[in-house]
Structure 1
């Protein structure tokens, strides 16, 4: 039995050291805790359980607060609820949730009037055994599928184009490897077809007798596209595409007008699309334009000036992308006619084509935007933005599956405004609010104030910050306990979003802020480029500089400022706490990528090779090795007084392995001086996204928030009753 397993829960576990040394580029690197990688080892499992026991013991004084936070979230949430119906192929589709049940159900009813695009209003209070709309058909009840499983995740569901079959995929381990089943809707029976080891969902062929799916290789890279024909075994499935370049992943999809099937190969910097015209029974997948290093493009089937065409969103003329029109066939960039020219002030991110209009997804000055471009006999008309008047918000296109629909379903939210669903009529420019997620218990948007701040980074760059707090909380410049969140990788933008559990933080007098650091995409492609590869330290420096800005301008103080980030944002947390431990009262690192150098030195691990274009290849390049050695959190743990740290992970995570935070906490506990208040919490039956089920997720977040409030000195603070349930 390990030393850690023998430790009393009243004392933190001590992981034994088993040094392993390797030489890289003439430098010897010694790792004392690599033995924790043996996931099936009884010693490793005992250590993780001992860490969990210690975390429970060390946070036992927060049990009542956790219970209160959970109940506050539950009381603010309308548990029996439903989504706004979405129209597709003669049906209205919607989801339902029920009080006391972890998961929801997907339903549909027939469209009664083909000319009326106004969604029906289901009965939001209908009981579990009552239809929310007349003629309701339950397609999937996820509670039934999840029965008997500690973990459950729906990878996706897709209806055949003849509306007779539903293919759906489930994961009951948390490792994101799904099993596909096919349900006959006429009688609810399952076909004999079972396809295992699938990544996500499936894409139906328009013939409704076959579907496509992807699988992963040993490095957890989606590398193969398969075609499954109903009535045959998985062993007989046709291999449609095998991506042999380890830098690339592969995906499959179908155009909105149902004419084209796509197979997309992509790396971090390059894409290649293959197309198949389903109206031609003899057609095979054909490359649209061969991959060219650094060229990214996206295709969308459209009808321009009454003629079929492809829209090509590409970065061939500039890093922030251009929208062009191409013939609906393989074409070279010389044949891509510009439609919306590259603009360094506007990052074009996506485009959706419909029969009467285009929807261009873009961002400018750190804010998301939707631009509507009308279509007519002469081509594309002058575009306009769908505008909202708040200073900080997020807008995005919602579910819009019908090629002929005259409206755009969109979503809108902010740090203070709950998720809202609108229909935008392209013809009249009328914006209709269909639903705002109800928040019970006296919640009022006007009780909160939002701010867009700008922090000056050490190299002079202005870094945007989004912040929310109770109205008047900062009057007079009084510092607020603040939770500062960050990510900063993969060009992923952390746009302002609403959170019900966060209200418990705000109502106890704290603020919440997002540091939109470089490495994300908030300020365009340059923002990403300036936070990756050789420029990766900018990400960490930006976050520290934002924290210092909040302190120096009186928004917060080091005694009450808590930082949080997950996955690549967990790497951010580990790096900033090494750089400036004195700035933070606590740090929460969720599924953190803190042992980045070890991972990137091992090409056999999941995702490593595909990540070279994000982080570099330290195995092949001594300069990359030196740079990563300088910031990798695990490698830079030092004998300093770190703030309290809570690391949360999952045993079955395939993206960031549990071993990274396990090693990190072990090394922190052995090396740091002073408080040495470090906790590791491992979910023993979940993956990268954490626990499944909404009530479990609420409990999980209540645990983290209680710890955060304790670090802020607010564990015993009474919440403002104005918005309490």
Structure 2
């Protein structure tokens, strides 16, 4: 394929000066921002980029279709979740045939005999180019279903209610919400968070009574500090409704009595900048997972008399330098702690009397997580488990004996055999001597560690989010063609504890990019990948990572996938009208301060584009993205075209219907994955698509 066949879209340049702290930046593509997403010049340019992308990838169309067919063929068309007991019913989700969306049902027993359909999402999604089901929550008396839906991919949800006795929708509709609802115990009152339609932040909690118009809803709490996200929950003992307030480095929780439909908001203890915690309640006790004097957190308990005074809290599990406490699940007779040590998750079951035991797993690197456990009275804890070679598995674990019972394992259609694939965890020394974990998977018969395999390296590295190595049936299409797949657990995650996160944020953000580049060089040096067949991929904050590495070390990569990417960091973080900006000062820094401005300026991908050769690049976004605005990749691509000195591909595809999460539906989303994989495969086969 040659770029000479069709001319790449060249964007108009309109100089716009941005001045801060005595420093001027000239942004020739600032005009591409259109909050209404209707400007003819913007839409025309995006459509031109889409046509160019399609034309340039036309020769790989057959390969895209082949890969898509492979991805789809591995998925069981008729499938269901493991039934979950909640109250007097057992609940399950089901997918069938070529349907894109699930149906939700319930029955009187685990065998799902005489099951009743609650909601068919395929019917709800009919006629919509995009559909996302948010919350799905049955009232305490199990007679009314509340659910939320987003039909334009901006994560602005409408809440609706269904009478499960008659099947009829109630007249109530709650518009412009975050999508969450929590029922009070009277089965008539719900709480929800309303969104600011400009910043898309939720700062107001409202109380709604069924049968009344939304205009009559009562504002019960409003957060003035725009650095905080709001969320809702209910205590494990169902006595309290929680209002969660979360900034990057500070947590707060307010409560309302769940039995009082006119309850007033109560603060449990004073907000403290830098205090992060998780809170639950059972048996009249609060369990607080806190970072007070504990970087990796410790577990404390308090009662109604001591909760307001943190120095009176009782320590239940002490802080450990090498162990990160990640979460807690409370049951009537036991509680389960999620811990992480040396990058690996484990579960420890504790009795309230002080006894404990640990649940162990056999793989060298894996994912494990607490599943759905809606009933505190349960004698088992449901967990999910997966590794790079083990499909997702659901276990029920006896809380007394620790015995695991496999309830279901993801079925992979075709000739898949987990024994055909190898997985390992290695460590790479960073520039400053830190040891970076890397998870690897490959097909044994196609891998020799002799520097001949193509390799795809994935990364994220932000917000303390840890990408545990889990199974992906999609990746098999690469592994079966000889690719090695690597996850670089760079700083910015919490893979190696809280300090691993802190070393990859704000003033230390460059560590994230340097770690990823260092891992690439090490994998080539160790023979895991061919130096001319190295690929990289990342999305959102991982897209920022991709934008940084192609500026800083473009020669290392043959091709890069850059998805819904955060690229114009400085301009975005200086504009408080853009969704998420104010909430993220503690992640990236606040460029209204000169030192933070300099830090971000030094790595911001858009500001650091150079006159140099770049690898082949595939960029994807959604026009309605509410997390990272479409104009960030649009501007970045336009500026790259004006600066790059190579003939490599630079392709930009915008889904004109989708948002940050990409296409909705279980099969439609596979088309996006097939596009990227075909891009990499053809480059690996020819190095000249």
TM-score category (smaller protein): over 0.9
Quote how far apart the aligned CAs of 1:256 are: 2.4
Quote how far apart the aligned CAs of 1:557 are: 2.5
Q: How does 1:194-593 map to 2 (within 5 A)?
A: 194-217=173-196, 218-279=198-259, 283-303=263-283, 308-328=284-304, 330-375=307-352, 379=353, 381-475=354-448, 477-593=450-566
Q: How does 1:58-97 map to 2 (within 5 A)?
A: 58-97=56-95
CA deviation profile, 1:429-482 (whole Å, cap 9, x unmatched): 210111001001121110100010111111111000001000143335343211
Q: Is 1:658–2:630 an aligned residue pair?
A: yes
Correspondence for 2:575: 602
Alpha carbons of structure 1 residues 715 and 71: separation in structure 2 relative to 1, 3 Å: farther
Distance across 1 between alignment mates of 2:4 and 2:269: 62
Quote how far apart the aligned CAs of 1:279 are: 4.5
8 Å Cα contact 2:153-2:657 kept in structure 1: yes
8 Å Cα contact 1:562-1:711 kept in structure 2: no
Instruction: Please give the secondary structure, in 2, of the residue aligned with 1:232.
Output: coil
Correspondence for 1:721: none
CA deviation profile, 1:507-548 (whole Å, cap 9, x unmatched): 011011100000111111101100001000000000000001
Q: Is 1:184–2:163 an aligned residue pair?
A: yes
Q: How does 1:121-140 map to 2 (within 5 A)?
A: 133-140=112-119
Quote how far apart the aligned CAs of 1:291 are: 0.7
Moved more, 705-714 or 576-585: 705-714
> Residue 8 of structure 2 is aligned with which of 8, 12, 33?
12
Moved more, 653-662 or 8-17: 8-17
Instruction: Please give the secondary structure, in 2, of the residue aligned with 1:227.
Output: strand
Instruction: Please give the secondary structure, in 2, of the residue aligned with 1:319.
Output: coil
CA deviation profile, 1:396-428 (whole Å, cap 9, x unmatched): 100000010000000000111111000001122
Distance across 1 between alignment mates of 2:556 and 2:577: 37
Quote how far apart the aligned CAs of 1:350 are: 1.1
Instruction: Please give the secondary structure, in 2, of the residue aligned with 1:450.
Output: strand
Correspondence for 1:671: 643
Distance across 2 between alignment mates of 1:707 and 1:413: 28
Alpha carbons of structure 1 residues 582 and 608: separation in structure 2 relative to 1, 3 Å: same
- Normalising to structure 2: TM-score of the pair? 0.97
Distance across 2 between alignment mates of 1:716 and 1:446: 34
8 Å Cα contact 1:395-1:411 kept in structure 2: yes
Correspondence for 2:613: 641
Instruction: Please give the secondary structure, in 2, of the residue aligned with 1:200.
Output: strand
User: Size of the alignment, in residue pairs?
Assistant: 683
Quote how far apart the aligned CAs of 1:8 are: 11
Quote how far apart the aligned CAs of 1:706 are: 0.5
CA deviation profile, 1:241-273 (whole Å, cap 9, x unmatched): 100011112111111221111112121111111
Quote how far apart the aligned CAs of 1:62 are: 0.9
Quote how far apart the aligned CAs of 1:9 are: 8.3
Distance across 2 between alignment mates of 1:196 and 1:711: 46
Quote how far apart the aligned CAs of 1:211 are: 0.6
Distance across 1 between alignment mates of 2:107 and 2:404: 25
Distance across 2 between alignment mates of 1:265 and 1:500: 36
Instruction: Please give the secondary structure, in 1, of the residue aligned with 2:475.
Output: helix
- Normalising to structure 1: TM-score of the pair? 0.92
Query: Structure 2, unaligned stretches of length 5 or more?
Result: none
Q: Is 1:141–2:139 an aligned residue pair?
A: no
CA deviation profile, 1:82-126 (whole Å, cap 9, x unmatched): 010011101111110011111110111013xxxxxxx43xxxxxx
CA deviation profile, 1:685-721 (whole Å, cap 9, x unmatched): 011000011111111211111111122227999xxxx
Alpha carbons of structure 1 residues 476 and 47: separation in structure 2 relative to 1, 3 Å: closer
Moved more, 523-532 or 320-329: 320-329
Distance across 2 between alignment mates of 1:571 and 1:708: 20
Distance across 2 between alignment mates of 1:74 and 1:678: 28
Quote how far apart the aligned CAs of 1:331 are: 2.1
8 Å Cα contact 1:178-1:198 kept in structure 2: yes
Instruction: Please give the secondary structure, in 1, of the residue aligned with 2:642.
Output: helix
Correspondence for 1:683: 655
* TM superposition outliers: structure 1 runs of 4+ over 6 Å: 714-717
Distance across 1 between alignment mates of 2:23 and 2:224: 32
Alpha carbons of structure 1 residues 712 and 366: separation in structure 2 relative to 1, 3 Å: same
CA deviation profile, 1:494-519 (whole Å, cap 9, x unmatched): 11111111111100110111000001
Query: Structure 1, unaligned stretches of length 5 or more?
Result: 1-6, 112-118, 121-132, 718-725
8 Å Cα contact 1:108-1:138 kept in structure 2: yes
Alpha carbons of structure 1 residues 282 and 58: separation in structure 2 relative to 1, 3 Å: closer
Moved more, 589-598 or 327-336: 327-336
Correspondence for 1:707: 679
Distance across 1 between alignment mates of 2:153 and 2:445: 43
8 Å Cα contact 1:106-1:139 kept in structure 2: yes
Distance across 1 between alignment mates of 2:337 and 2:125: 38
8 Å Cα contact 2:564-2:660 kept in structure 1: yes
Alpha carbons of structure 1 residues 139 and 582: separation in structure 2 relative to 1, 3 Å: same
Instruction: Please give the secondary structure, in 2, of the residue aligned with 1:500.
Output: coil
8 Å Cα contact 2:184-2:259 kept in structure 1: no
Distance across 2 between alignment mates of 1:89 and 1:327: 27
